[in-house]
């Protein structure tokens, strides 16, 4: 089948590459000429395990191509996926200018019947706005779908090829039949392909992310309760996660959620509720709680370092918002860095994959080093912010020798408190007795 994808960011690139890998003819279009030039040479703008292999294989097989000519890409496509960015406006609402511009280009360029599929995360009602643009400009029959993505950064390829479910919103029987054919290779194992109306599909994406963000914030608050009562969050998590009504997923406490989805989508859903006079009080509390949690690493450091970070050199392990990605958007590490700088301290940081992104975001305000141990040299304390595998079993003797003082703040609970004490460290984690 002939597929065009508008937007070669995280969502569009994974989508296009994986669809090509099952035999479809896919063209990914983007106005960013530098990005397209890199992709044509198999240089990816993001780090995602396994994606580079799929892109290279399908370009070699001529099933996948990249272009800056969006109009040409959509001209004879059976499906056009809109996977452009929806950045937050100043008020937190989703900015739809790129989505609607893509819809207009499709309408003016398509020369055959086309299924227009929104893959970007968009608020309820966007599909109808896209339909209005298509009705104004299109010269061929069209069908509108909402097909939200549920990809985890760091596991996106597996999530796409082995989905828990596929959600498709449409009011067109023809679009339903075509989407069933397109997704058939991915749901052969019996995972559901769920069809629903457009508004429900759009809201499902926001509701899923909001629920997961709520679980994270809830456990972070329970971790704080553990710290104040002497309880152990690991045991509390095991106890509640064993209840099948709750389950164990997304119950790990940490430095707060970040990334491209949860912060933006919670805010967008809050704004969407406000415009419809639906006060989403739980989600408002989730957002406030998460912002507080992002400040906990700095609070712990201040306590361990005598109340102030003035003049202190802080080593940070991990800049990405989670492991297996180079994405630093809304990363808790940025909140920690801002707090250290505000107190008059300095930061030296290491991350296995985010060096390029960190340089772009932070410039020379943070010293970036090429090894985890180099970050510890003459530092007053070490803070673990991202649970990369290479941080799981470090040479603690080497770490202690490099640090000015043996102080470790573990915001991912990777290490055993008793072992760290036995090794001579002053150690603090999230919700566990020290």
Q: Taking every pair of C-alpha atoms in the chain, what is the biggest distance, in angstroms?
A: 73
Q: What is the pLDDT of residue 341?
A: 98
226 is catalytic: no
- Cα dihedral 126/15/98/203 (nearest 10): 20
Mean pLDDT for 209-222 is 97
The Cα–Cα gap between 133 and 130 comes to: 5
Give bridge partners of residue 408 from the DSSP assignment.
Answer: 382, 427
pLDDT in tens, 338-393: 999 999 999 999 999 999 999 999 999 999 999 999 999 999 999 999 999 999 99
User: Is the whole model's pTM more than 0.75, yes or no?
Assistant: yes
The Cα–Cα gap between 325 and 126 comes to: 29
Q: What is the pLDDT of residue 87?
A: 80
Which of 160, 198, 126 has the alpha carbon at shortest distance from 50? 160
Percent of the chain scored above 70 by pLDDT? 99
Which of 62, 72, 58 has the alpha carbon at shortest distance from 14? 58
Of the pLDDT bands very low, low, confident and very high (cuts 50, 70, 90), residue 139 is very high
Which of 203, 215, 387, 385 has the alpha carbon at shortest distance from 289? 215
Instruction: Give the CA count within 13 Å in the CB-facing half-sphere of 354.
Output: 29
Q: Return the higher-pLDDT residue of 91 and 112.
A: 112
User: Minimum mean pLDDT among 2-16, 78-92, 149-163, 235-249: which range?
Assistant: 78-92
The Cα–Cα gap between 3 and 19 comes to: 8
The Cα–Cα gap between 407 and 425 comes to: 6
Catalytic residue among 18, 28, 226, 261: 261
pLDDT in tens, 402-421: 999 999 999 999 999 999 99
Which of 149, 207, 148, 182 has the alpha carbon at shortest distance from 22? 182
Cβ proximity of 429 and 384 under 8 Å: no
> Which three-class secondary structure state does DSSP give residue 410?
strand
Signed CA dihedral, 105, 107, 111, 113: sign only: positive
| Model confidence at 89: pLDDT above 90 | no
Of the pLDDT bands very low, low, confident and very high (cuts 50, 70, 90), residue 91 is low
What rounded mean pLDDT belongs to the chain?
A: 96
Q: What is the pLDDT of residue 90?
A: 63
Cβ proximity of 162 and 186 under 8 Å: yes
pLDDT in tens, 34-69: 999 999 999 999 999 999 999 999 999 999 999 999
The Cα–Cα gap between 288 and 284 comes to: 6
Cβ neighbourhood burial of 64 (10 Å; 0-12, 13-18, 19+): buried
Mean pLDDT for 132-151 is 95
């Amino acid at each position: 089948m002939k597929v065009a994808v508008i937007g070669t960011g995280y969502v569009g690139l994974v989508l296009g590459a994986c669809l090509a890998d099952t035999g479809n003819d896919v063209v990914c279009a983007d106005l960013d000429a530098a990005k397209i030039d890199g992709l044509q040479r198999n240089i990816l703008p993001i780090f995602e395990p396994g994606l580079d292999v799929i892109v290279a294989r399908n370009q070699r097989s001529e099933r996948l191509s990249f272009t800056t000519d969006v109009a040409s890409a959509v001209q004879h496509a059976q499906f056009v996926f809109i996977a452009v960015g929806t950045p937050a406006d100043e008020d937190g609402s989703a900015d739809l200018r790129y989505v609607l511009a893509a819809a207009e280009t499709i309408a003016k360029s398509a020369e055959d019947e086309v299924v227009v599929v929104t893959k970007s995360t968009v608020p309820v009602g966007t599909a109808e706005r896209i339909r209005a643009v298509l009705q104004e400009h299109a010269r061929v029959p069209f069908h509108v779908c909402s097909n939200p993505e549920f990809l985890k950064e760091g596991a996106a390829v597996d999530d796409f090829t082995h989905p828990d479910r596929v959600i498709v919103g449409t009011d067109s029987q023809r679009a339903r039949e075509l989407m069933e054919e397109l997704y058939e290779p991915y749901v052969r194992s019996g995972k559901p392909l769920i069809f629903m109306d457009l508004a429900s599909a759009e809201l499902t994406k926001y509701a899923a992310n909001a629920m997961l963000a709520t679980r994270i914030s809830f456990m972070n608050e329970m971790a704080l309760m553990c710290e104040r009562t002497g309880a152990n969050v690991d045991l509390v998590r095991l106890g509640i996660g064993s209840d099948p009504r709750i389950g164990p997923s997304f119950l790990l406490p940490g430095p707060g959620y970040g990334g491209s989805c949860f912060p933006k989508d919670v805010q967008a859903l809050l704004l969407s509720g406000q415009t419809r006079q639906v006060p989403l009080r739980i989600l408002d509390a989730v957002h406030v709680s998460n912002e507080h949690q992002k400040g906990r690493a700095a609070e712990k450091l201040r306590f361990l370092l005598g109340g102030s970070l003035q003049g202190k050199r802080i080593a940070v392990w991990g800049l990405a918002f989670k492991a297996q990605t180079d994405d630093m958007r809304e990363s808790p590490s940025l909140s920690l860095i801002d707090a250290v700088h505000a107190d008059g301290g300095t930061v030296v940081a290491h991350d296995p994959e985010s060096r390029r992104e960190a340089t772009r975001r932070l410039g020379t305000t943070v010293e970036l080093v090429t090894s985890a141990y180099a970050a510890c040299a003459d530092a007053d304390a070490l803070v673990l912010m991202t649970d990369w595998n290479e941080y799981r079993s470090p040479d603690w003797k080497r770490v202690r020798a490099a640090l000015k003082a043996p102080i470790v703040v573990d915001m991912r609970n990777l290490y055993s408190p008793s072992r760290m004490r036995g090794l001579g460290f002053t150690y603090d984690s999230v919700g566990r007795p020290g």
